[in-house]
């Protein structure tokens, strides 16, 4: 079975009936599974986690974007989270038997349809970006909905698809392929936030650490310990075990032990297989040797 994951963000976090109508568009499509969705009223934003076969995911995302365009008016929207569109961003992630290239193709097909058929300007971002300044989502979103009319007329910010003017109520949308993001937190046996901050600095990309790690130190007040909280933006190239081991030996320097860790949300099977493979020094292990994976492959082949 070929699977793409998508985590579209919608600029509505209060009116649950609107969220339901948008999510329903995905429910209607065979071959799409809604893994999770949640709304934040303060952010006035909802995040939906979908997975499915590529063609079905494309259909579901197009229909959800159309529904969001019809039901959300950014002129009346306020919330803590920055936003530029009714459907604000559509990340696409190749998760099973799909490649980055296929995923980029999908982002372009979907972007073209949203631009042409829904009259919403589309920016390709991350791995789909058509120029270096469009790689970062926050760079595209800078100025937000309110300031986009003056941004979009600049040559550098001509949309990749769709009209050259902001949709009056639905704004603009970013669509792009990226790697799976794993939220991985490591807990330290100390209440000294300085140590968590120093270790976060040691492992994160921006200050000289691993390329695909974003990290911050946090206090867990109730447990009186501190945490190195991370976004692992490419677990294939910067694997969990390697970062874990570096945190361990950095912490040892302060006489502090690792007391636990957590993965928040979903993780691809391969990220955990990589951990087991490393510590057991497994030779030539293939995830198709995992019973459940084998069954999934069988079942999904029947469905094709």
Binding mask 95-114 toward a copy of itself (x if CB under 8 A, else -) reads xx------------------
Do residues 291 and 298 touch, judged by C-beta distance below 8 A? no
Binding mask 113-152 toward a copy of itself (x if CB under 8 A, else -) reads ----------------------------------------
Q: Does 275 contact a copy of itself by CB under 8 A?
A: yes
Part in contact with a copy of itself (CB under 8 A); list of ranges 109-117, 159-167, 226-234, 253-261? 253-261
Number of residues in contact with a copy of itself under rule CB under 8 A: 46
Q: Does 47 contact a copy of itself by CB under 8 A?
A: no
SS3 10: strand
Residue tagged active-site, from 81, 167, 205, 278: 81
Q: State the nearest-atom distance from the C-beta of 194 to a copy of itself, in Å.
A: 22
Separation of alpha carbons 247 and 185, rounded Å: 11
Q: Does 262 contact a copy of itself by CB under 8 A?
A: yes
Part in contact with a copy of itself (CB under 8 A); list of ranges 21-29, 118-126, 136-144, 254-262? 254-262
Beta-bridge partner residues of 38: 47
Do residues 202 and 196 touch, judged by C-beta distance below 8 A? no
Part in contact with a copy of itself (CB under 8 A); list of ranges 72-80, 111-119, 155-163, 256-264? 256-264
Separation of alpha carbons 104 and 177, rounded Å: 5
Separation of alpha carbons 55 and 205, rounded Å: 35
Q: Which is nearest to 262 in space by CA: 204, 186, 196? A: 186
Q: State the nearest-atom distance from the C-beta of 70 to a copy of itself, in Å.
A: 28
Q: Which is nearest to 180 in space by CA: 129, 123, 231? A: 231
Interior/surface letters 54-69, b for 16+ CB within 10 angstroms, e for the rest = bebbbbbbbbbbbbbb
Applying CB under 8 A, among 17, 221, 222, 283 the residue interacting with a copy of itself is 283
- Residue 216's alpha-carbon distances to 138, 166, 180, 188, 239, in angstroms, are 19, 35, 19, 13, 18
Q: Which is nearest to 130 in space by CA: 163, 98, 176, 88? A: 176
Nearer to a copy of itself, 28 or 294 (CB): 294
Separation of alpha carbons 188 and 13, rounded Å: 34
Q: Does 294 contact a copy of itself by CB under 8 A?
A: yes
Q: Does 272 contact a copy of itself by CB under 8 A?
A: yes
Nearer to a copy of itself, 193 or 275 (CB): 275
Q: Does 183 contact a copy of itself by CB under 8 A?
A: no
Is 81 an active-site residue? yes
- Residue 70's alpha-carbon distances to 46, 96, 170, 192, in angstroms, are 16, 33, 8, 50
The interface with a copy of itself within residues 226-245 (CB under 8 A) comprises 240-241, 244
Nearer to a copy of itself, 106 or 152 (CB): 106
Name the residues that contact a copy of itself, by CB under 8 A: 1, 3, 5, 33, 35, 51, 95-96, 187, 240-241, 244, 258-263, 265-269, 272-273, 275-276, 279-285, 289-296, 298-300, 303
Catalytic residues, by residue number, are: 81
């Amino acid at each position: 079975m070929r699977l793409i994951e998508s985590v579209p963000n919608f600029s509505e976090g209060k009116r649950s009936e609107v969220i339901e109508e948008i999510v329903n568009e995905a429910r209607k499509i065979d071959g799409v599974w809604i893994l999770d969705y949640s709304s934040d009223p303060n952010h006035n934003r909802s995040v939906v986690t979908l997975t499915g076969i590529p063609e079905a995911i494309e259909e579901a995302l197009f229909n959800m974007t159309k529904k969001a365009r019809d039901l959300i008016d950014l002129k009346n929207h306020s919330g803590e989270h920055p936003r530029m569109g009714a459907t604000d961003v559509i990340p696409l992630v190749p998760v099973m038997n799909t490649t980055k290239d296929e995923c980029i193709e999908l982002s372009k097909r979907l972007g073209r349809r949203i631009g042409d058929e829904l009259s919403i300007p589309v920016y390709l971002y991350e791995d789909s970006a058509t120029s270096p300044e469009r790689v970062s989502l926050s760079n595209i979103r800078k100025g937000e909905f309110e300031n986009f009319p003056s941004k979009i007329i600049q040559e550098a910010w001509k949309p990749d698809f769709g009209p050259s003017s902001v949709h009056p109520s639905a704004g603009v949308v970013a669509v792009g392929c990226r790697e799976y993001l794993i939220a991985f937190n490591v807990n330290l046996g100390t209440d000294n936030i300085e140590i968590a901050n120093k270790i976060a600095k040691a492992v994160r990309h921006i200050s000289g650490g691993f390329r695909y790690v974003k990290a911050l130190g946090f206090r867990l007040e109730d447990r009186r310990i501190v945490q190195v909280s991370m976004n692992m933006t490419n677990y294939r190239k910067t694997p969990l075990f390697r970062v874990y081991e570096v945190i361990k030996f950095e912490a040892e320097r302060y006489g502090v032990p690792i007391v636990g860790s957590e993965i928040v949300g979903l993780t691809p099977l391969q990220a955990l297989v990589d951990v087991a493979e490393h510590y057991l020094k497994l030779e030539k292990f293939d995830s198709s040797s995992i019973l459940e994976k084998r069954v999934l492959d069988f079942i999904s082949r029947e469905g094709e």
